[in-house]
Amino acid sequence: AVIKIFGLVVLLLEMLCCVFILAQCHFKSPRCVFCLIVISLYEPGVQPNNASSVINALLLHHYKRGAYYPKGGASEIPFHITKVIQKYVGNVLVRAPVTRVLVNSKGAAYGVSIKKGQEEVEVRAPIIISNCGVFNTFKRLLPPEIQAKPEIQKRLDMLKPGRGSLLVFSGFDATAEELGINSTNLWLFKNNDIDAMSVLDEAPEKVPWMFITFPSAKDPTLKIRLPGKTCMTILTMVNYEWFEEWKDATVKKRRDDYMDYKMRFAKHLFDWACMYFPKLREKVKKRLYFNLRNFVASRGATYAAEHNLECFHIDVMAKNCCNTPDKHLFISGQDVFSCGIVGAVHGGLLCASTALGQIVYVNLFLLKKKLKRRKAREMSAVGKEKLQ
């Protein structure tokens, strides 16, 4: 109860602050309003008329101080986190899909079953935290008798899976300078009616918008690691139903018509990008590669559950919490708060607070103060040294 009250107070303060920022933006600049609409469309993965303005304000608040890209690419995040986990006697398993959450006769979770080749291995633990989303956890990993519990069914009914994203990756034998690209993300729209554009058409040639990013242009280490190479990622949203007929086929063994359909999307999106960056076509090296994110596991959804307006109703927020009716099983990640990396981080903090029974935000705040003081001491020592 204390965690929830604290969370609500923080949320209320954030809301007030964000509504203020939002109002400021609305009145100051039409360009800013357009940016907000763009944020609504992509960041929560829902169309603007179904997106929470408070969450948009939080996003704006977050991005107004700038965004970050990890030096060395996204793989640096797990690489460094793994070391911290191991330092505290934890362990990290990769390519180890969890097939079941183990639940005893009293309804308490006591471990997970992991697939290791053809075998199933049991890993036991006093607390189980699931980060693979509400749908995966409740529908795929829990035993049927637990799934059938009314609390779980109600919670599943409150949420719906989010939209899928289709990605096109391409590699180039050229530097960013040669291609005329930079680290800016680009949004391309075919018209100005953003709400109308969120009704998607299954004809790849009618894709209404796309997002282009050049990760290599953001990474200062790339010039050393892969000199003369560049990459581009294009993203657009698609409906899972268009691809559903191929869901049962193994990856890379799907029929040719699946490949043809995806290639039509890729060709159209790539050609569209070339209109803005004509040098891309002549320097493209790697065959275009496509991915429909988490195709089967989460219906291709970019952000697991859809973060629509209903998700932020107070009763939905209260019920869609980190606790589960299964004792010792907790839910973390983007489904319990909001989507995106920062949303997922908050999901993690809320989950840690619930599982530990203490507000880890306070610990984090004190740690930040301590680190700031340490940094100030170090800076003043360096300053004194220089003066001597």
Ligand X SMILES: Cc1cc2nc3c(=O)[nH]c(=O)nc-3n(C[C@H](O)[C@H](O)[C@H](O)COP(=O)(O)OP(=O)(O)OC[C@H]3O[C@@H](n4cnc5c(N)ncnc54)[C@H](O)[C@@H]3O)c2cc1C
- Which residues of this chain interact with ligand X, rule CB under 6 A? 97-98, 131-132, 136, 165, 167, 235, 293, 297, 302-303, 333-334, 339-342, 344, 347
Q: In the bound complex, what is the minimum distance in angstroms from residue 27's beta carbon to ligand X? A: 27
Q: In the bound complex, what is the minimum distance in angstroms from residue 280's beta carbon to ligand X? A: 19
Nearer to ligand X, 174 or 292 (CB): 292
Q: In the bound complex, what is the minimum distance in angstroms from residue 223's beta carbon to ligand X? A: 22
Measured on CA atoms in the order 125, 360, 306, 266, is the torsion positive or negative? negative
Q: Which of 295, 164, 276 is nearest to 214 (CA)?
A: 276
Nearer to ligand X, 50 or 294 (CB): 294
8 A C-beta contact, residue 172 and residue 283: yes
Nearer to ligand X, 293 or 319 (CB): 293
Comparing every residue's Cβ against ligand X, the nearest one is 333
Q: In the bound complex, what is the minimum distance in angstroms from residue 228's beta carbon to ligand X? A: 25
Phi, psi torsion values for 122, nearest 5 degrees: -90, 130
| Helix, coil or strand: residue 129 | strand
Nearer to ligand X, 4 or 293 (CB): 293
Nearer to ligand X, 135 or 261 (CB): 135
Question: In the beta sheet, which residues pair with residue 210?
Answer: 188
Q: In the bound complex, what is the minimum distance in angstroms from residue 128's beta carbon to ligand X? A: 12
Q: In the bound complex, what is the minimum distance in angstroms from residue 178's beta carbon to ligand X? A: 25
Nearer to ligand X, 210 or 235 (CB): 235
Nearer to ligand X, 295 or 303 (CB): 303
Q: How far apart are CA 170 and CA 266, in angstroms?
A: 10
With 0-12 / 13-18 / 19 or more C-beta atoms within 10 angstroms meaning exposed / middle / buried, residue 130 is buried
Taking CA atoms, 181 is separated from 172, 209, 226, 232, 233, in Å, by 12, 19, 17, 10, 13
Q: Which DSSP letter does residue 305 get?
A: B
Q: How far apart are CA 133 and CA 154, in angstroms?
A: 16
Question: In the beta sheet, which residues pair with residue 167?
Answer: 235, 291
Q: In the bound complex, what is the minimum distance in angstroms from residue 170's beta carbon to ligand X? A: 14
